[in-house]
């Protein structure tokens, strides 16, 4: 628990909030921009607002956002002599990896909640839609919180290995592009890629790109299994890698 | 600025894998261009307008991929100066921070030029050989389009070099890169006037073909605006890098 408390203290001054709040808000605004400019209202109400918001968000900004958070959380460890302090601390590799991944996954979860709230806000305030969005959208948001955990763990691992802030982000952009292509070709088999898992879940029920428009129990089960397995495997791999790292001169 | 300063930047690039990012940028844009052809059901390689599909694919692929990867390579080559205290050590060797930024622009600019022109050529070649388009390629339009995209790429690169050099925390540079990606993509749906507001909007102005009326049609490239942007940012870059030389290290 100490490792996690330490991470939360480091987070306080790390400027994570512009990404956590800014990214989903900008994408929801961008999705609605054309209609706001034309003064028209979305055809299918909440469904259209949701599709416009997650349609692009799920393709790669989601993965890139997780990557930025990963780089941000690990940035401090690569500065000054902090790496050596980390290597010589009594906390075990597993605890460090879990604490870092938990912080990144937590911020990612907040990002999804902000996305949902932004959709709600733009529907209510800009388009004055009636009622509330389907409970389905809330469930997808909750599923997205779980399904982005493997991507958070993987990006945490990449940012742990690379001292550069930017490279893990380039990896996320390109990997999510290739994963989307793999989803189109191979379907749910591409869920082995954490990026494919995040994209598939974000686009669930929208009928765009990699989705047929109906949500089946099989899809949800596949997503949950992939998220659970991916998280465990990636945490163990990252721990094994960190275990073999040493101090740097 | 001397040739030695530029050669110096190429030496730094060797271990930063900039070339790898450049190659992946080319492949990603090529993949998206070909995807446009594969995904349009009424595409006919025999029709005289067949090249428009590939041009439209590139017009979408470049704004989708380039802004973030340009931010990555600019950040990567500038970050090493912050971490290794290169600003001071190079200044004592006679290369002041402003001169170094210009050398970085020339060195990375060469990489971006080769990448962008190479992508243009590669898409023509794959249109001929892989897709088997019968009509001769519209070389004049293709050249204007590629040069305009190159100009916007160089402008975005120059701005990112300034941000990465000025703000040590690369979160800012990469955050702007992500925002730029979103702006570049969504500017295509906005009125032309709105596209003039941000540098990334000019990707939309360089669009050479678009989907309309049941197929891909040619669109006029708005090149006077792009020339104006290149001149304005060129002068601004010269002025700002000149200011860099007058700062305390």
In a domain, B249, yes or no: no
The answer, for B23 touching chain A at a CB cutoff of 8 Å, is no
* Residue A13: exposure state from Cβ atoms within 10 A (0-12, 13-18, ≥19): exposed
Which distant-in-sequence residues (6+ apart) come within 8 Å of B149 by Cβ? Answer: B58, B62, B116, B120, B203, B206
- Owning domain of residue B12: 3-244
Q: Is the pLDDT of residue A167 over 90?
A: yes
Interface probe for B, chosen from A40, A170, A184 (most Cβ of B below 10 Å), is A170
pTM of the model: 0.90
Q: Tell me the average pLDDT across A81-91.
A: 90
| Reduced 3-state DSSP string for A183-218 | HHHHHHHHHHCHHHHHHHHHCCCCCCCCCCCCCCHH
Distance of CA B47 to the CA centre of its chain: 31
More confident residue, B246 or A20: A20
Interface touch B174/A166, C-beta < 8 Å: yes
Q: Look over chain A and give the mean of its residue pLDDT values, rounded to a whole number.
A: 90
What is the pLDDT, as a whole number, of residue B176?
94
Q: Tell me the average pLDDT across A108-137.
A: 90
Q: Is the pLDDT of residue A1 over 70?
A: no
Q: Is the pLDDT of residue A44 over 60?
A: yes
Neighbours of B135 (CB within 10 A): 13
The answer, for A209 touching chain B at a CB cutoff of 8 Å, is no
User: Minimal Cα–Cα distance from A225 to chain B, Å?
Assistant: 30
Least trusted range by pLDDT, from A61-65, A207-211, B109-113: A207-211
Which pLDDT band holds residue A168 (cuts at 50, 70, 90)?
very high
The answer, for A72 touching chain B at a CB cutoff of 8 Å, is yes
Q: Tell me the average pLDDT across A88-114.
A: 94
Q: Which residues of A touch B35 (CB under 8 A)?
A: 181
In a domain, B63, yes or no: yes
Which pLDDT band holds residue B165 (cuts at 50, 70, 90)?
very high
Helix (H), strand (E) at residue B209: strand B209-212
What is the pLDDT, as a whole number, of residue A77?
92
Q: Is the pLDDT of residue A130 over 60?
A: yes
What is the pLDDT, as a whole number, of residue A186?
87
Domains in chain B, number = 1
Longest dimension (CA), chain B: 63
Interface touch A174/B170, C-beta < 8 Å: no
In a domain, B223, yes or no: yes
User: Minimal Cα–Cα distance from A165 to chain B, Å?
Assistant: 6
The answer, for B31 touching chain A at a CB cutoff of 8 Å, is yes
Percentage above 90 pLDDT, chain A: 56
Q: Is the pLDDT of residue A119 over 60?
A: yes
Interface touch B68/A173, C-beta < 8 Å: yes
What is the pLDDT, as a whole number, of residue A31?
86
Tokens of A194: 């954490």
- DSSP states of A68-132: HHHHHHHHGGGSTTHHHHHHTSSS-HHHHHHHHHHHHHHHHHHHHHHHHHHHHHIIIIIS---S-
Q: Is the pLDDT of residue B233 over 80?
A: yes
Percentage above 90 pLDDT, chain B: 65
Q: Look over chain B and give the mean of its residue pLDDT values, rounded to a whole number.
A: 90
Interface probe for B, chosen from A115, A173, A182 (most Cβ of B below 10 Å), is A173
What is the pLDDT, as a whole number, of residue B191?
83
| Integer Cα distance of B246 and B249 in angstroms | 9
User: Minimal Cα–Cα distance from B139 to chain A, Å?
Assistant: 29
Q: Is the pLDDT of residue A216 over 70?
A: yes
Q: Is the pLDDT of residue A74 over 90?
A: yes
Q: Which residues of A touch B17 (CB under 8 A)?
A: 167
Nearest by CB to B190, from A19, A34, A165: name it: A34
What is the pLDDT, as a whole number, of residue A225?
96
What is the pLDDT, as a whole number, of residue B249?
54
What is the pLDDT, as a whole number, of residue B67?
95
Which distant-in-sequence residues (6+ apart) come within 8 Å of B232 by Cβ? Answer: none
What is the pLDDT, as a whole number, of residue B112?
97
Q: What is the pLDDT of residues A8-25, one digit of tens each?
A: 888 887 888 888 999 999
Interface touch B28/A30, C-beta < 8 Å: no
Which distant-in-sequence residues (6+ apart) come within 8 Å of B132 by Cβ? Answer: B45
Which distant-in-sequence residues (6+ apart) come within 8 Å of A244 by Cβ? Answer: none
**What ipTM goes with this model?**
0.86
In a domain, B77, yes or no: yes
Distance of CA B99 to the CA centre of its chain: 22
The answer to whether the Cα torsion of A88, A89, A91, A96 is positive or negative is negative
Q: What is the pLDDT of residues B49-106, one digit of tens each?
A: 888 889 999 999 999 999 999 999 999 999 999 988 899 999 898 899 999 999 999 9
Tokens of B157: 């690169």
What is the pLDDT, as a whole number, of residue B42?
77
User: Minimal Cα–Cα distance from A164 to chain B, Å?
Assistant: 7
Helix A46-57 vs helix A17-38: angle between axes, to the nearest 10 degrees? 130
Interface touch B173/A166, C-beta < 8 Å: yes
The answer, for A40 touching chain B at a CB cutoff of 8 Å, is no
Q: Is the pLDDT of residue A37 over 80?
A: no
């Amino acid at each position: 628990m100490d490792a996690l408390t330490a991470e939360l203290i480091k987070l306080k001054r790390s400027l994570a909030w512009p990404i956590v709040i800014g990214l989903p808000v900008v994408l929801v605004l961008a999705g609605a921009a054309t209609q706001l400019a034309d003064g028209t209202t979305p055809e299918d109400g909440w469904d259209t607002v949701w599709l416009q918001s997650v349609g692009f968000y799920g393709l790669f900004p989601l993965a890139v956002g997780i990557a930025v958070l990963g780089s941000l959380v690990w940035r401090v460890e690569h500065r000054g002599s902090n790496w050596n302090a980390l290597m010589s601390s009594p906390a075990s590799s597993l605890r460090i990896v879990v604490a870092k991944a938990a912080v990144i996954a937590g911020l990612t979860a907040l990002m999804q909640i902000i996305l949902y709230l932004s959709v709600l806000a733009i529907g209510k305030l800009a388009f004055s839609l009636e009622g509330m969005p389907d409970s389905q959208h809330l469930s997808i948001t909750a599923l997205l919180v779980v399904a982005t955990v493997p991507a958070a763990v993987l990006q945490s691992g990449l940012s742990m290995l690379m001292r550069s802030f930017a490279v893990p982000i380039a990896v996320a952009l390109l990997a999510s592009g290739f994963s989307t292509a793999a989803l189109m070709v191979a379907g749910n088999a591409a869920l082995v890629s954490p990026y494919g898992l995040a994209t598939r879940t974000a686009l669930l029920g929208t009928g765009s790109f990699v989705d047929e428009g109906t949500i089946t129990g099989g899809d949800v089960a596949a997503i949950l299994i992939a998220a659970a397995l991916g998280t465990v495997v990636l945490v163990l791999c990252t721990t094994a890698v960190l275990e073999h790292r040493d101090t740097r001169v | 600025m001397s040739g030695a300063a530029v050669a110096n930047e190429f030496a730094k690039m060797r271990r930063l894998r900039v070339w790898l990012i450049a190659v992946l940028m080319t492949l990603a844009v090529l993949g998206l261009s070909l995807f446009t052809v594969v995904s349009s059901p009424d595409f006919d390689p025999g029709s005289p307008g067949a090249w428009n599909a590939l041009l439209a694919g590139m017009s979408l692929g470049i704004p989708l991929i380039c802004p973030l990867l340009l931010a990555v390579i600019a950040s990567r080559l500038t970050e090493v100066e912050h971490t290794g205290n290169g600003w001071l050590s190079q200044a004592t060797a006679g290369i002041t921070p402003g001169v170094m930024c210009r050398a970085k622009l020339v060195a990375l600019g060469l990489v971006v030029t080769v990448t962008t022109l190479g992508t243009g050529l590669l898409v023509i070649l794959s249109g001929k050989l892989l897709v088997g388009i019968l009509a001769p390629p519209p070389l004049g339009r293709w050249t204007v389009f590629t040069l305009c995209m190159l100009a916007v790429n160089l402008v975005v690169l120059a701005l990112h070099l300034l941000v990465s050099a000025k703000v040590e925390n690369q979160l800012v540079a990469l955050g702007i890169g992500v925002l730029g990606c979103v702006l570049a993509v969504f500017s295509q749906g906005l009125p032309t006037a709105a596209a003039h507001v941000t540098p990334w909007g000019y990707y939309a102005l360089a669009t050479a073909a678009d989907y309309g009326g049941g197929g891909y049609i040619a669109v006029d490239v708005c090149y006077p605006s792009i020339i104006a942007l290149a001149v304005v940012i060129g002068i601004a870059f010269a002025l700002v890098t000149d200011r860099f030389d007058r700062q305390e290290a």
